[in-house]
Amino acid sequence: MLPSDDRTWENNDVTRRRENSERLEAAAKLVVPGGVYGHGALTTRAHPRFFESGTGAHVTDVDGNELIDFMCGYGPNLLGMGHPRVEAAAERQRRKGDCFSGPTARWVELAEALVERIGHADWAMFTKNGTDATTLCTTIARAATGRRKILVARGAYHGAAPWCTPSDAGVPAEDRAHLLHYRYNDLESVAEAVARAGDDLAGIMVSPFRHDTFVDQELPTTEFARGLRRACDRAGAVLMIDEVRAGLRLARGGSWERLSVDPDLSAWGKALGNGYAISAVVGREDLRDAARRVYATGSFWYGGVAMAAACETLAVADEIGLPEMLTATGQQFRAGLEELATANGFSLRQTGPPQLPMVLFEGDTDFSLGKFFTGDAIDRGVYMHPYHNMFLSAAHTPAIVAEALERLSGSFESLRRYVDAAGPEGSR
Amino acid sequence: MLPSDDRTWENNDVTRRRENSERLEAAAKLVVPGGVYGHGALTTRAHPRFFESGTGAHVTDVDGNELIDFMCGYGPNLLGMGHPRVEAAAERQRRKGDCFSGPTARWVELAEALVERIGHADWAMFTKNGTDATTLCTTIARAATGRRKILVARGAYHGAAPWCTPSDAGVPAEDRAHLLHYRYNDLESVAEAVARAGDDLAGIMVSPFRHDTFVDQELPTTEFARGLRRACDRAGAVLMIDEVRAGLRLARGGSWERLSVDPDLSAWGKALGNGYAISAVVGREDLRDAARRVYATGSFWYGGVAMAAACETLAVADEIGLPEMLTATGQQFRAGLEELATANGFSLRQTGPPQLPMVLFEGDTDFSLGKFFTGDAIDRGVYMHPYHNMFLSAAHTPAIVAEALERLSGSFESLRRYVDAAGPEGSR
């Protein structure tokens, strides 16, 4: 086994400037617990912590290192950073005003746009964080059914509120008292959890595909999706799809429409405003009254600018045929990575939909290969993640993907040299 | 008693255009549960539901009615809508980029600015909604103490998450299992709640003054504030001030610094970015480690634009001496209202700090006077609230406040005529 030291990548033959990043990180540690917290801290020492600018598929860190960005802000960058049409639409609203004591006309326009494009959506509600949207789904499901139990897949991420955060620091057990778990793509485990819920099953939450950190992604089987729908129908419970991470990249409407499975509620976020802070819940007619009874609000939830950005994001996505476009460049990226890995004697695990690439090295249980590889890739100007799914945007053109692969060719070679130098125990 | 019909104000002698507002509300009802939900729906039928534009202290509804706005978006508008310096700072960051896979340098700058100005702040964390900030406070308090009970004042609003939402629709009892209540300014009730918490008291949350909807506002007595501090110190519990609604309007730093009472944590939001979506938690050194252990994140929480806006908002607020400025115009507004009310034979209850005006009519238990008055005021171009505290911004100049009072003179006369026409039972 190679050591899983975050700094191994520094043994490569490329260097980049890191002074400003390190200086800012030290300054941050004085005034922010841990310096940087949250998903941006899930990366390795190789990853720049602070960003200076970005446009399209490129970001530049505070040391002036330009990177082809395969994280897209963990999802929000759907069309390319600073997309001209989205920015123009936001600017038009901004000149009028953003944060009033009630909504603007964009509220109606965006709700109409979501209702039009998502099969199961008869209405929409707007929130700010993805967590707001998933939490609101559970509250509506409980209000509608008068029941309490919510089923989620073991290991799935549905946000950072006490009921769903992956950490238990500061979270009393009661916040999760009505949470039951099943295994993704395992209807038997669903049936067991449904049985445990008894007559108290409010709903089942599920991601459109399994996109847990650290492990292979997994597409849902049609049988699994339909089985969840059937389980909810039988129990009079609410099926909820958490589209926050994957929504809009997989399909124009709901991600499970291709499986002919409609949920009762779905939560959307991240990509919806192409970087502007907005999330949403949409739902079926029979849940409208429960949704109306729930108290949901936030200081900035009427903000017209993010809604204007979202309306334009959806319009642009439709014009360019976004899911198909991302599928094509995702397949190009996947095939190119596969070829480079093979040429250098590595075996990759590339799983899930190509629009949200997940790249793990076969047998790399401590992610030492992934950490060295992504560290080296960042040195060569490609921002990748060693154990979290990545994201493509419409700005990731075939030429940019080809350029990224060209740079990554050096990273595979560098990894080969590193593994070979580590001797027999280091080989895979 | 006058009937509490929301439409009574229509008997006044002013009319305004409402067609677009009604058309949009009807359209919204088709695609959003209830049409408009949240705090914007707390108003009466007289209030315009949809806004077109705003600048400074003025907003214009979708029918072109311009209003002097005393709600300020329920708080966010601190310096005036579209404040040129805040917008310029936001635009500079926007050109570089907003939503990256990690923070920008604004993260450090804003944390430093908060630590500099707030006495008890040794560090800061950034969130998006006010609810995120209050919830994070409770999680940090629990992580730090390893205990569970949180005390809040009966009737206080701390956000819309399941643990604190004013509605219980869809909220299992377990979400509030560790919540205990005291009465504001009543140390005996605090002592009782502390006793009930036993050795499980994680912390006490308190608003800088009592600003509950529907009732008189109440400033904290020094004895009460110090008593809470003492209670926390004795129990080894965490004192948390929820500054989301009032923060920055009452003082440059923490609102209780004038009482020489420092909390351990405080939650900030609304006004922090002058309308840009950002909130924050700040805290003392001894809670840094607990804050670091809590998992807190959101898709848009690194957004640099709102942080740039917040940095500039704080700088402008300091240059103009914001709390003093708002106090002066608040006193002008209060005195003018008092004079007009008296001249027309009404008695007002104006309570709390003048920066956040609360105006109730004496004996108006069903708010019928308040509803008629604010409905008439809106017809005359002054946006006021019948039973929620209002907000002043730096754009509410003495001249604008005088103009508002001039218009409201008509509303008091209109209310007088209405009450007199209602006959003896209608008199107050």
C-alpha to C-alpha distance for B419 and B428, rounded to whole angstroms: 8
DSSP A75-115: TT-SS-BT-HHHHHHHHHHHHH-S--SS--HHHHHHHHHHH
Question: Which residues of B are less than 8 Å from A51 in CB distance?
Answer: 97, 100-104, 304
Give me the phi and psi of A330, to 5 degrees please.
-65, -40
Angle subtended by helix axes A222-235 and A187-197, to nearest 10: 20
Q: Specify the domain boundaries for CATH 3.90.1150.10 within chain A.
A: 9-74+322-426
Q: Say whether B31 and A111 touch across the interface (CB within 8 A).
A: yes
Q: Say whether B174 and A175 touch across the interface (CB within 8 A).
A: yes
- In this predicted structure, which of A4-8, A182-186, B85-89 has the lowest mean pLDDT? A4-8
Max Cα–Cα distance, chain B, nearest Å: 67
Question: Which residues of A are less than 8 Å from B157 in CB distance?
Answer: none
pLDDT value at position A425?
Answer: 57
pLDDT value at position B86?
Answer: 98
Give me the phi and psi of A380, to 5 degrees please.
-95, 5
Q: Say whether B50 and A102 touch across the interface (CB within 8 A).
A: yes
C-alpha to C-alpha distance for B273 and B298, rounded to whole angstroms: 17
Mean pLDDT of chain A: 96
Distance to chain B for A425, nearest Cα, Å: 35
User: What sign does the dihedral A158-A163-A168-A173 (CA atoms) show?
Assistant: negative
Q: Which residue of B has its CA nearest to A39?
A: B297
Distance to chain B for A250, nearest Cα, Å: 19
> What architecture is domain B84-320?
3-Layer(aba) Sandwich (3.40)
Q: Does A155 touch chain B (CB under 8 A)?
A: no
Between positions 244 and 263 of A, the ones with CB within 8 A of B are: 244
pLDDT tens digits, B95-130: 999 999 999 999 999 999 999 999 999 999 999 999
Whether the pLDDT of residue A326 is over 60: the answer is: yes
Distance to chain A for B167, nearest Cα, Å: 6
Partners of residue A69 on adjacent β-strands: A383
Nearest to B352 by CA among B166, B215, B205, B258: B215
Between positions 314 and 373 of B, the ones with CB within 8 A of A are: none
Q: What is the distance of C-alpha B210 from the center of its chain?
A: 11
Two tokens, residue B218: 């109440």
User: What sign does the dihedral B80-B81-B83-B86 (CA atoms) show?
Assistant: positive
Nearest to A391 by CA among A267, A261, A240, A250: A250
Q: Give yes or no for a contact between B132 and A160, defined as CB atoms under 8 angstroms apart.
A: no
Q: Say whether A298 and B130 touch across the interface (CB within 8 A).
A: yes
Q: Does B139 touch chain A (CB under 8 A)?
A: yes
Collect all residues with Cβ–Cβ distance below 8 Å to A297 and sequence separation of at least 6.
B37, B38, B39, B40, B160
Q: Give yes or no for a contact between A386 and A372, defined as CB atoms under 8 angstroms apart.
A: no
Q: Does B125 touch chain A (CB under 8 A)?
A: yes
Give the SS3 label for residue B39. Answer: helix
C-alpha to C-alpha distance for B275 and A342, rounded to whole angstroms: 52
Question: Which residues of A are less than 8 Å from B175 in CB distance?
Answer: 174-175
Whether the pLDDT of residue A404 is over 70: the answer is: yes
Q: Specify the domain boundaries for CATH 3.40.640.10 within chain A.
A: 84-320
Q: Say whether A40 and B103 touch across the interface (CB within 8 A).
A: yes
C-alpha to C-alpha distance for A237 and A201, rounded to whole angstroms: 6
Question: CB atoms < 10 A from the CB of A146, how many?
Answer: 10
Q: Specify the domain boundaries for CATH 3.90.1150.10 within chain B.
A: 8-70+322-426
Question: Which residues of A are less than 8 Å from B300 in CB distance?
Answer: 76, 128-129, 275-277
Two tokens, residue A65: 């290192």
Q: Does B51 touch chain A (CB under 8 A)?
A: yes
DSSP A354: T
Q: Which residues of B66-88 are buried (b: 16+ CB within 10 A; e: fewer)?
A: ebbbbbbbbbbbbbbbbbeebbe
pTM above 0.95, yes or no: yes
The partner residue sitting opposite B277, judged by closest CB among A95, A128, A297, is: A128
> What architecture is domain A9-74+322-426?
Alpha-Beta Complex (3.90)
Give me the phi and psi of B177, to 5 degrees please.
-60, -30
Q: Say whether B24 and A105 touch across the interface (CB within 8 A).
A: yes
Q: Say whether A33 and B288 touch across the interface (CB within 8 A).
A: yes
Between positions 96 and 115 of B, the ones with CB within 8 A of A are: 96-105, 107-108, 111-112, 114-115
Q: Does A279 touch chain B (CB under 8 A)?
A: yes
pLDDT tens digits, A92-144: 999 999 999 999 999 999 999 999 999 999 999 999 999 999 999 999 999 99
Q: Does B243 touch chain A (CB under 8 A)?
A: no
Q: Does A417 touch chain B (CB under 8 A)?
A: no
Q: Does A243 touch chain B (CB under 8 A)?
A: no
Between positions 379 and 398 of A, the ones with CB within 8 A of B are: 383
C-alpha to C-alpha distance for B140 and B146, rounded to whole angstroms: 10
pLDDT value at position B424?
Answer: 63
Q: Say whether A102 and B47 touch across the interface (CB within 8 A).
A: yes
Ranges of chain B whose pLDDT falls below 70: 1-5, 424-428
Distance to chain A for B123, nearest Cα, Å: 4
Give the SS3 label for residue B86. Answer: helix
The partner residue sitting opposite B160, judged by closest CB among A111, A277, A296, is: A296
pLDDT tens digits, A289-303: 999 999 999 999 999
Collect all residues with Cβ–Cβ distance below 8 Å to A258 and sequence separation of at least 6.
A251
pLDDT value at position B428?
Answer: 47
Q: Give yes or no for a contact between B243 and B133, defined as CB atoms under 8 angstroms apart.
A: no
Q: Say whether A62 and B105 touch across the interface (CB within 8 A).
A: yes
Partners of residue A279 on adjacent β-strands: A127
pLDDT value at position A6?
Answer: 72
Question: Which residues of A are less than 8 Å from B40 in CB distance?
Answer: 101-103, 297, 302
User: What sign does the dihedral B44-B48-B49-B51 (CA atoms) show?
Assistant: negative
Between positions 173 and 212 of B, the ones with CB within 8 A of A are: 174-175, 177-178
DSSP A210-224: B--TTS--BPPPHHH
Partners of residue A205 on adjacent β-strands: A240
Q: Does A29 touch chain B (CB under 8 A)?
A: no
Collect all residues with Cβ–Cβ distance below 8 Å to A138 and sequence separation of at least 6.
A150, A163, A202, A203, A205, A240, B170
DSSP B99: -
Q: Say whether B51 and A111 touch across the interface (CB within 8 A).
A: no
Average pLDDT value for residue range A171-191: 97
Q: Which residue has the tokens 């989205």?
A: A86
pLDDT tens digits, A234-262: 999 999 999 999 999 999 999 999 999 99
DSSP A157-208: ---SSTTT-S--TT--GGGGTTEEEE-TT-HHHHHHHHHHHGGGEEEEEE-S
Give the SS3 label for residue B263. Answer: coil
Q: Say whether B24 and A108 touch across the interface (CB within 8 A).
A: yes
The partner residue sitting opposite B73, judged by closest CB among A82, A100, A105, is: A100
Helices (H) and strands (E) in chain B, counts: 11, 13
Question: CB atoms < 10 A from the CB of A362, how many?
Answer: 11
C-alpha to C-alpha distance for B357 and B3, rounded to whole angstroms: 25
> What architecture is domain B8-70+322-426?
Alpha-Beta Complex (3.90)
Two tokens, residue B311: 């940095």
> Terminus-to-terminus CA distance in chain A, angstroms?
8
Q: Say whether A295 and B169 touch across the interface (CB within 8 A).
A: yes
pLDDT tens digits, A262-297: 999 999 999 999 999 999 999 999 999 999 999 999
pLDDT value at position A424?
Answer: 63
Would the ipTM clear 0.85, i.e. be above it? Answer: yes
Q: Say whether A53 and B96 touch across the interface (CB within 8 A).
A: yes
C-alpha to C-alpha distance for B130 and A176, rounded to whole angstroms: 23
Q: Say whether B174 and A169 touch across the interface (CB within 8 A).
A: no
Whether the pLDDT of residue A4 is over 70: the answer is: no
Mutate which of B101, B270, B272, B281 to disrupt the A interface (most A C-beta within 10 Å)?
A: B101
Q: Does B228 touch chain A (CB under 8 A)?
A: no
C-alpha to C-alpha distance for A137 and A379, rounded to whole angstroms: 42
Q: Which residue of A has its CA nearest to B31?
A: A123
Q: Say whether B300 and A33 touch across the interface (CB within 8 A).
A: no
DSSP A217-285: -BPPPHHHHHHHHHHHHHHT-EEEEE-TTTTTTS-SS-TTGGGT---SEEEE-GGGGTTSS-EEEEE-G
C-alpha to C-alpha distance for B9 and B98, rounded to whole angstroms: 45
Which strands, in side-by-side order, build the sheet including A123-127?
A123-127, A279-283, A265-268, A238-242, A201-206, A149-153, A179-182
